[in-house]
């Protein structure tokens, strides 16, 4: 099957995300970092595409999301924007681009919007970045919050394990989520938190929650495209469902090509000029 699984080809907006929550329609999101993949993801009918700072891991091979720069995020985001006709395009603000103060945050937010052409930005954190979120929203830029496991703070946590299992951390996450909604976020990503907590928050908030490793009670789901396509053989967290084994498909195809070249089978007469 190819092409849209929905007949609704209207461009998805942040407003549509809110309507989908109200109507009980789950929101589908995936990451993309380049033109070719984004063309396929958008063409399949996804609701939202995130240019995640996970590009630092899956595209550049870093062990954390910390090294990726604003310029690199703008490069990935502009490649995706050129491909997308329908999905809402959200770009991560990278580590260091909004944590110093609200003025720097808004300056960098405006730059990413102008130079990438994306529709919205995502920032990690709660109360500690609330002034920055408020100002970015006031400038007319839609903001998606991100709570729970926030990979830009990996050096503080020391591990990528499930967050907010203890009461104190869960209480902080709940007040962070409400603060983000009050500051004007249009949605919040909830990463790797207990399902009951994500469900409770999704019921309490008026804005949609998008879960990754947060159970089935959120208003939508997001996965990293390379992970759900089975391109990263070694990455097998409990929350990940693999929809294909592209690692094997590619390895077989490349192996066949190598065999054909070595055997002088490729190219044949029909493949030459």
Active-site residue, 269 included: no
CA 6, CA 169: separation in Å to the nearest integer?
39
Three-class SS of residue 268?
coil
Token output for 72: 């690199």
The 223-262 contact track toward ligand KIV, x by CB under 6 A, reads -x--------------------------------------
Of 176, 169, 193, give the one whose Cα is nearest residue 126. 176
- Residues 210, 219 contacting (CB under 8 angstroms): yes
- Binding segment (CB under 6 A) for ligand KIV, from list 38-46, 49-57, 95-103, 253-261: 49-57
Is 126:173 a contact under the CB 8 Å cutoff?
A: yes
Residue nearest to ligand KIV (CB): 52
Smallest distance from the beta carbon of 58 to ligand KIV, in angstroms? Answer: 8
Cα Rg of the chain (Å, integer): 20
SS3 117: coil
Assess whether the previous peptide bond of 267 is cis (omega < 30° from 0).
yes
Compare residues 23 and 207 and give the one whose CB is closer to ligand KIV: 207
Using the contact rule CB under 6 A, the part of the chain among 52-60, 68-76, 98-106, 262-270 near ligand KIV is: 52-60
- Per residue in 196-223, is it b (16+ CB within 10 Å) or e — as a string? ebbbebbeebebbbbbbbbbebbbbbbb
Q: Residue 189 and residue 137: Cα distance in Å, rounded? A: 17
Site string for ligand KIV, 171-190 (x = CB under 6 A): ------------------x-
CB neighbours of residue 55 within 10 Å: 24
Residues in contact with ligand KIV, total (CB under 6 A)?
11
List beta partners, residue 144.
122, 187
Choices 45-53, 173-181, 194-202, 237-245; region in contact with ligand KIV by CB under 6 A: 45-53
Q: Judged by CB under 6 A, does residue 52 bind ligand KIV? A: yes
Q: How far apart are CA 150 and CA 140, in angstroms?
A: 25
92 touches ligand KIV by CB under 6 A: yes
User: First CA to last CA across the chain, in angstroms?
Assistant: 34
Compare residues 52 and 208 and give the one whose CB is closer to ligand KIV: 52
Q: Which of residues 185-224 bind ligand KIV (CB under 6 A)?
A: 189, 191, 212, 222, 224
In the complex, the smallest distance separating the C-beta of residue 215 from ligand KIV, rounded to whole angstroms, is 15
The residue within the footprint of ligand KIV, chosen from 42, 53, 181, 219 (CB under 6 A), is 53
- To ligand KIV, the closest distance from the beta carbon of 57 in angstroms equals 8
Q: Which two tokens stand for residue 71?
A: 């310029």
User: Given 191, 269, 271, 272, which residue is catalytic?
Assistant: 191
Q: How far is the CB of 135 from ligand KIV (least distance, A)?
A: 22
Active site residues: 191
- Please give the residue ranges that form the binding site for ligand KIV (CB under 6 A): 31, 50, 52-54, 92, 189, 191, 212, 222, 224
């Amino acid at each position: 099957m190819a092409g849209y699984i929905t007949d609704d080809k209207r461009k998805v907006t942040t407003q549509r995300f809110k309507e989908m929550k109200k109507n009980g329609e789950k929101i589908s999101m995936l990451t993309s970092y380049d033109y070719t993949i984004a063309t396929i993801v958008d063409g399949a009918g996804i609701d939202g595409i995130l240019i995640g700072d996970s590009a630092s891991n899956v595209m550049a091979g870093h062990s954390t999301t910390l090294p990726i720069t604003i310029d690199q995020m703008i490069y990935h985001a502009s490649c995706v924007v050129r491909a997308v006709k329908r999905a809402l395009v959200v770009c991560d603000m990278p580590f260091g681009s909004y944590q110093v103060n609200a003025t720097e945050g808004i300056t960098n937010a405006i730059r990413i919007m102008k130079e990438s052409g994306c529709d919205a930005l995502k920032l990690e954190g709660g109360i500690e970045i609330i002034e920055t979120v408020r100002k970015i929203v006031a400038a007319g830029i839609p903001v998606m919050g991100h709570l729970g496991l926030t990979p830009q703070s990996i050096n503080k946590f020391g591990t990528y394990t499930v967050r907010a299992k203890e009461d104190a951390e869960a209480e902080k996450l709940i007040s962070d989520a409400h603060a983000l909604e009050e500051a004007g976020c249009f949605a919040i990503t909830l990463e790797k938190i207990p399902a009951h907590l994500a469900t409770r928050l999704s019921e309490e908030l008026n804005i949609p929650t998008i879960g990754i490793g947060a159970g089935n009670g959120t208003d939508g789901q997001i996965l990293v495209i390379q992970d759900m396509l089975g391109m990263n053989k070694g990455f097998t967290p409990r929350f990940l469902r693999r929809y294909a084994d592209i690692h094997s498909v590619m390895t077989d195809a490349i192996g066949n090509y190598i065999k054909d070249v070595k055997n002088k089978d490729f190219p044949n007469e029909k493949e030459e000029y």
